Amino acid sequence: MTATAPREEQLWSRCAGCASLLYRKRLRRNLDVCPECGEHARLGAPERLRQLVDPGSLRLLPDRLPEADPLDFVDVLPYPHRLTGARASTGLAEGVVCATATIGGHPVALAVMDFRFLGGSLGCAVGELITRAAERALDDRTPLVLITASGGARMQEGALSLMQMATVSQAIAALREAGLLTVSVLTDPTYGGVAASFATNTDLVLAESGARMGFAGPRVIRQITGRALPEGFQTADFLLRHGQVDMVVQRRSLRGRLMALLAATRAGRPARSPVPRQEPASHRERLADDGTVLARPTDPAAEGDAGTPAVRDAWDTVRMARHPGRPTTLDYLDSVFDGFVELHGDRLGADCPAIVGGVARLAGRHVMVIGHQKGHTTAELVARNFGMASPSGHRKALRLMRLAARLGLPVVTLVDTPGADPGVSAEEQGQAAAIAENILTLTVLPTPVLAVITGEGGSGGALALAVADRVLMLENAVYSVISPEGCAAILWPDRSAAPQAARALRLTAPDLRRLGVVDEVVSEPSTAAHDDPAETAQRLRAALLANLLPLLDVPPAMLVRLRRQRFRRFGANRVGARAGLR
Ligand SMILES: [Zn+2]
């Protein structure tokens, strides 16, 4: 960057948020975030790169392109004059700086937009440079990281600038097809054609704290609608609430977040880290770290001998499965997994709190974990809608499943839901289709899928996360086509017959193991999961590893074939005759 401002202005600058006069060096040390109010000042592309990439790793990509003024555009100034002015004031050739670098040792290609250059507008040169960065990522088989800051398409290049939305998107699609991660980081402001293309059609969308993003700007919307806009409209937090971004990140955490995401998504391909060879799961016992036999999965007929005596009454098990102290998905993410990075949003308008998901590590191996989230207190339960996913929750899960498959990450699902959200708006938003789409997608998902029924496995809402290569079930969990109360209300005189219904439904782990609906029962501590969450976590972790590792060596096409066979076998002649399980 060339700074030509007088010395006084270099020493001090005024915060746009709180108007404090700040010592320039101190501000820069704080990554241009106001120490008084937290306002994130806009960064030029060179400074942004300095903050993000490993020192010494930056290699700028060529930025000189043939001069273009395709329309001979003149407003109050001829377009070439504006370009010359922008170059002089920024020291940049164009409104984007592209490079290769490493971030925490992970090689990436980067394109960083610079709002100072004609408002970060997307012209033909900017589109071409970002496309070349994407192509470089494809050649190098590295992820692509886009840092966006733009008012939209560059008007001076007319429809040709509009075409850049398609050009760059096509390059992103090629990366997607190749299973390479694309990440965009929205910085303030990101609008118009950039927002409606590569800022949001990447695999992961992060928003820097304080960033605003939208298609139409607030002024335009106010003019057209004649109405005041909601508080915080189009801000990062607004975007998170409406399912548009995976996370909002403070600038000081951005590099660390990117490192974690790059580490997680690099794991799946192309080369896998060494995995201890294991016999196929069906040929051996599951051992805990200390050698204890956790379950003996070989023969359904021999069920009941694996530390899971089926003496507890089904209704007691139902109450156990619903116990408020029972570990939740977030508890397991803390105890069974490491390094969970939550990803948010369905990209269609919402972020369902009843479904949580993101990348995490299981014994050093990266996986995508998706689960229903309940809670331990009434307030938590209400906030999470009692673990009942809305259509947007299922769509969030779908997005994460597909992303996992593209990146070669195994999927682990943790199922704990009374069922899908039974509300009116859920119906209006296509609850049935959302569940159906997940079930279908899971039947063809070309990556290992491991499901665990950890608490309540309630009907279609549970199945939407449980079409898996291996289905495990905690000893005191239940899995059922309908709740015992619901069943009692329909088939018995009233709901007080729920205990009888619970017995009739064969919803306990040993029953379902016998029916082949679940492959393995994970025993709980002699008391119950909620009395010894740490021990439960340890057992679950061992079971997950024992079941997951053998799946990692199965080619994706074979996985899909076997998974379909697994679910094909529940035909009328097998299960229907045995237990009336529908
Ligand atoms: Zn401030």
18 annotated binding-site participant: yes
Q: Which residues surround ligand 1, an ion (CB under 5 A)?
A: 15, 17-18, 34, 36-37, 39
Q: Is 9 exposed, middle or buried (0-12, 13-18, 19+ CB in 10 A)?
A: exposed
Nearest to 434 by CA among 397, 483, 385, 386: 397
Largest CA distance in the chain: 87
Cα of 33 vs centre of ligand 1, distance in Å, is 8
- Residue 241's Cβ-side half-sphere holds a number of Cα atoms within 13 Å equal to 8
Cα of 567 vs centre of ligand 1, distance in Å, is 58
Higher pLDDT, 482 or 413: 413
Of 46-50, 271-275, 555-559, minimum mean pLDDT range: 271-275
Higher pLDDT, 217 or 423: 217
Report how far residue 192's alpha carbon sits from residue 207's, in angstroms, rounded to the nearest whole number. Answer: 16
Cα of 149 vs centre of ligand 1, distance in Å, is 21
Report how far residue 373's alpha carbon sits from residue 328's, in angstroms, rounded to the nearest whole number. Answer: 6
Confidence of residue 548 (pLDDT cuts 50, 70, 90): very high
Of 209-218, 296-305, 479-488, minimum mean pLDDT range: 296-305
Cα of 42 vs centre of ligand 1, distance in Å, is 13
pLDDT per residue as tens digits for the range 259-288: 999 998 875 554 333 333 333 333 333 333
Q: Does the pLDDT value for residue 415 go beyond 90? A: yes
Confidence of residue 576 (pLDDT cuts 50, 70, 90): very low
Residue 504's pLDDT is 87
What mean pLDDT do residues 548-568 have? 89
Residue 63's pLDDT is 87
Residue 287 and residue 339 in contact, taking contact as beta carbons nearer than 8 Å: no
pLDDT per residue as tens digits for the range 103-123: 999 999 999 999 999 999 999
Cα of 41 vs centre of ligand 1, distance in Å, is 9
352 annotated binding-site participant: no
What is the 8-class DSSP label of residue 12?
E
Cα of 529 vs centre of ligand 1, distance in Å, is 48
Cα of 291 vs centre of ligand 1, distance in Å, is 58
Higher pLDDT, 569 or 38: 38
Cα of 381 vs centre of ligand 1, distance in Å, is 37
What percentage of the chain reaches a pLDDT higher than 70? Answer: 88
34 annotated binding-site participant: yes
Report how far residue 499's alpha carbon sits from residue 319's, in angstroms, rounded to the nearest whole number. Answer: 10
Report how far residue 474's alpha carbon sits from residue 462's, in angstroms, rounded to the nearest whole number. Answer: 14
Cα of 47 vs centre of ligand 1, distance in Å, is 19
Cα of 182 vs centre of ligand 1, distance in Å, is 32
pLDDT per residue as tens digits for the range 292-307: 333 333 333 333 344 4
What mean pLDDT do residues 121-144 have? 95
Confidence of residue 410 (pLDDT cuts 50, 70, 90): very high
124 annotated binding-site participant: no
Cα of 38 vs centre of ligand 1, distance in Å, is 6
Cα of 21 vs centre of ligand 1, distance in Å, is 8
